[in-house]
Amino acid sequence: MRSISKLAAFLSFVILFSSSAFAATVTGTVKGPDAAPYEGAFVQAINSKTKISVSVLSDKQGRYRVENLPAGDYQVRVRAVGFTTDPHSAVSLTADQNISFEFALKQGTVRWSDLNLYQGKQLMPDGKGKEVLSTNCFICHGFQTRMAAVRRDEDGWRDRVNYMREAMAFQLSERFNDEKANQVISYLNSVFGTDSTVPRSPAELPAYKDTVRPFADDAMNIVYVEYDVSGSKGLPWSAAPDKDGNLWIPFYGRGNEVARLNPKTAEVTRFPLPFDETAGVHSAVPAPDGMVYFTEFALDKLAKLDPGTGKITEFPDSVVVPGERADKHTVRVDAKGNLWSSGSPVSKFDQETGKYTHFMEAPSSYGITFDKDGNVWFCVLQKDGKIGRIDAKTEKVTQWSPPTQGTPQRLALDSDGIVWFGERTGNKIGRFDPKTEKFKEYPLPGPAATPYALIVGKDNGIWYASTDQDLIGRLDPNTGKVIEYPFPHSEAMMREFFLDAQGRIWFATPTNNRVGYFYLTGANERASK
Q: Which sign, positive or negative, has the C-alpha torsion 117, 119, 123, 127? A: positive
Give pLDDT, residue 325: 86
- Label residues 68-89 b or e (16+ Cβ within 10 Å = b): ebbebebebbbbbbebebeebe
Mean pLDDT, residues 330-351: 97
Checking if the pLDDT of 349 tops 70, the result is yes
Give pLDDT, residue 5: 36
- Cα distances (Å, whole numbers) of residue 168 to 163, 171, 254, 409: 8, 6, 8, 22
Mean pLDDT, residues 188-194: 96
Checking if the pLDDT of 319 tops 70, the result is yes
Give pLDDT, residue 144: 95
Contact 38, 80 (CB under 8 A): yes
Mean pLDDT, residues 76-95: 96
Tell me which CATH code domain 2-107 carries.
Answer: 2.60.40.10
Collapsed DSSP state (helix, strand, coil) of residue 31? strand
Reported as half-sphere exposure (CB side, CA atoms, 13 A), residue 279 has a value of 28
Checking if the pLDDT of 8 tops 50, the result is no
Q: What is the rounded CA–CA span in Å between residue 136 and residue 131? A: 8
Give pLDDT, residue 322: 83
Contact 453, 494 (CB under 8 A): yes
- Cα distances (Å, whole numbers) of residue 276 to 234, 256, 257: 12, 7, 10
Give pLDDT, residue 351: 96
Mean pLDDT, residues 157-162: 95
Contact 261, 271 (CB under 8 A): no
Spans of all domains in the chain? 2-107, 112-211
Q: What is the rounded CA–CA span in Å between residue 470 and residue 457? A: 19
- Cα distances (Å, whole numbers) of residue 125 to 120, 190, 337: 9, 9, 51
Give pLDDT, residue 14: 34
Give pLDDT, residue 217: 97
Collapsed DSSP state (helix, strand, coil) of residue 10? helix
Span of 1-10, 403-412, 489-498 with lowest mean pLDDT? 1-10
Q: What is the pLDDT of residues 285-308, one digit of tens each?
A: 999 999 999 999 999 999 999 999
Before 345, cis peptide (omega within 30)?
yes
Mean pLDDT, residues 90-119: 96
Give pLDDT, residue 173: 78
